[in-house]
Chains A and B, each alone.
Chain A
Amino acid sequence: EPEVTQTPSHQVTQMGQEVILRCVPISNHLYFYWYRQILGQKVEFLVSFYNNEISEKSEIFDDQFSVERPDGSNFTLKIRSTKLEDSAMYFCASRDGGGVETQYFGPGTRLLVL
């Protein structure tokens, strides 16, 4: 069964460093998403991406964040200068663009900023 994959599973970084989180969405999907979940809190929307551009972003997704689909399979989230409060689980999701808006999530990357 097709699935969304994410790498790395864990990332530890120093405050102020850049990190890139990688995702491979399901191959025939057209819409791509990043969410994050701070420990013990809700899953929060960060950004949606369609047709090679951002279609919507949340207030969390400020200038420190960027997304890219560098080729036909990968979808990346870059945090330019990490802060302590960026420590969270980051989930990538994708959907096929059909009538039902169901999204399929990857296993997540646990980011710890020290």
Chain B
Amino acid sequence: QKEVEQDPGPLSVPEGAIVSLNCTYSNSAFQYFMWYRQYSRKGPELLMYTYSSGNKEDGRFTAQVDKSSKYISLFIRDSQPSDSATYLCATPHGSGNTGKLIFGQGTTLQVKP
């Protein structure tokens, strides 16, 4: 069983739509969750991180964690063409305090003007 799974998409939405991006994870020991945005052929850029179950909001972005179902979501409100990118969920999990990140496959989002 893969540790972190994402539907790779692609997901295509019109400008202004609400976007929902999702991940599932298998290990209940995972505690922190991050969302990274990756533009084509660029490095991952940290968007948000969450620790506990519940919601965390930052501007147009809301991250949600449901630890009971091992489900992570990122919502984008009023999506813009500049949001077109691949969105990666990740969780740190390493021996000791190494904090190595385990990534999902990434979901490719296209926001059409």
Give residues in A with beta carbon < 8 Å to B.
4, 31, 33, 35, 41-45, 48, 50, 55-56, 58, 89, 91, 93, 95, 100-108, 110
Contact = CB atoms under 8 A, between A and B. Distances in A.
Nearest to B6: A42
Contacts of A110: 41
Nearest to A109: B43
A42 B104 contact: yes
B103 to A, nearest CB: 4
B46 A42 contact: no
Contact of A45 (B45, B96, B102): B102
Contacts of B92: 101, 103
B99 A95 contact: yes
B65 to A, nearest CB: 14
B95 A56 contact: yes
Interface residues of B, number: 27
Q: Is the interface of A mostly helix, strand, loop or mixed?
A: strand
B74 interface: no
A95 B34 CA distance: 13
Contacts of B103: 42-44
Interface string B49-87: 101000000000000000000000000000000000000
Q: Is the interface of B mostly helix, strand, loop or mixed?
A: loop
A42 to B, nearest CB: 5
B104 A103 contact: no
A56 B92 CA distance: 13
A56 B44 contact: no
Residue with the highest number of chain B CB atoms closer than 10 Å, among A35, A44, A95, A102: A102
Contact of B43 (A50, A55, A106): A106
Contacts of A44: 103
A103 B101 CA distance: 8
Residue with the highest number of chain B CB atoms closer than 10 Å, among A4, A105, A110: A105
A108 B42 contact: yes
A35 B101 contact: yes
Contacts of B49: 100, 102
A103 B99 contact: yes
A91 B96 contact: no
